[in-house]
Structure 1
Amino acid sequence: MAIEVRPATTFEDVRALVGPKRPDANVCWCLSYRIPSKLNQSLQGTERGELVKKLVGQDPPPGVLAYDGGEPVGWAAVHPRADTSFAGNRKIPHVDSLDVWSVWCIRVRPGHRGKGISHALLAGAVDFARSYGAPAVEGYPVDNAGAKVDLTMAYVGTRKLFEDAGFTKAADTQSVLNGFPRVLMRLEIGTP
């Protein structure tokens, strides 16, 4: 069955991918880079899910979802960089003044990994950004040179994943994750 990638407009499907098993648990909900740090740290328990529910209802929604036969199996967070903490991040540089979009989280559900869903999610994130007129999309993956990345840290993607999608390295960063340097990968996409 073909993987279909669509905008993340259904809260229940987003919750299935990034929400906790217990609604009151303090987990990321993919908000760490999406909202200001102080707000992120202040949210407790169900407040995170309520904020995500609001974001899912906005235009544009906070990302894209991959479906396999109607079942949500993957998530990619993608939004204008100006609306994320990357806008002021001192470790990840700005290449120029373009209003780029950022992809900062790619997650595939256990049991569905190894089927190319990450590749479909990244392509879907680019298409989504393009549909909103983004001139370019950036990602900040680890440059792991093929070494294994801990699954809890693999959400940023790898340089190879982004290269396979046509991205090129635009800059080094001062950010390190799981012992690997992160690089700024970029794809110029123009307008629809």
Structure 2
Amino acid sequence: MIAIRSASEVPWADLERVFETPGDPRTCWCQYFKVTPAEWDATDAQTFATRLHEQTRRGDPTPGLIAYVDDEAAGWVAVEPRDNYPRLRRSRVVQSGSAETWGDASVWSVVCFVVRREFRRQGTSGALIAAAVDRARAGGARVVEGYPVEPALISGSDADALYHGTVSMFEAAGFSEIAVPTPSRRVMARDLSAVA
């Protein structure tokens, strides 16, 4: 059974367990889209971990959600108002693909997924994205954007981009394709304005 909780309501040790997943999570701590390139180059993983800890302890809006499978911390999704991710403003994928105006607080973004290896292919990411949409709606979102990859069109080191999620995940959660800024990347959105 998969349960989703706000990262602001769970023990920090549970976030550490998820972010200690081998690969980028243990160095990024979901801060990549929140800092400038210069800050990224000059900051170590422990500082990023401290920043995420501070962000989750501030309360609402939470920077993300944690999935639990049988009470074990299994995964993470980052979802916040798009303006909380300043690096997205400079992203070629987003610049060329988003139809939304910068500075609109009703536009939220799903930018990152982390699922521990032993919990993959069990519906964890699907549960996280559905909960992210609900969280955005509760926070006043009119639109939720995502920037997933098409796995069939990536190879080698590009596989690292899977943290954005996959096109099929977003489609299953009711997102529609808005743009194809690169062969392997999509801009997808879900309009919440007509949903009660």
TM tier, smaller: 0.7 to 0.9
Shift of 1:151: 5.7
1:151-188: per-residue Cα shift (whole Å, max 9, x none)? 643211111111011100012224xxxxx521101001
Map residues 169-184 of structure 1 onto 2, 5 A cutoff.
Answer: 169-174=177-182, 181-184=184-187
Q: Does 1:79 align with 2:80?
A: yes
- Which of 95, 105, 114 in structure 2 is aligned with 1:107? 114
1:92 aligned partner: 94
Runs (5+) with no aligned partner, structure 2: none
Q: Which amino acid aligns with 1:163?
A: E
Q: State how many pairs are aligned.
A: 183
1:44-73: per-residue Cα shift (whole Å, max 9, x none)? 242121111111112212111101122110
Contact 1:139/1:186, CA 8 A, preserved across alignment? yes
Identity fraction in percent: 33
Runs (5+) with no aligned partner, structure 1: 175-179
Which range moved further: 60-69 or 95-104? 95-104
1:53 aligned partner: 53
1:186 aligned partner: 189
Q: Which has the higher helix share?
A: 2
Which TM-score applies when normalising by structure 2?
0.82
CA RMSD after TM alignment: 2.5
1:139 aligned partner: 146
Shift of 1:148: 7.5
Shift of 1:116: 0.6
2:125 aligned partner: 118
1:66-122: per-residue Cα shift (whole Å, max 9, x none)? 011221101001111111011332332231224311111112111111111110000
Matches of 2:177 and 2:47, distance apart in 1: 37
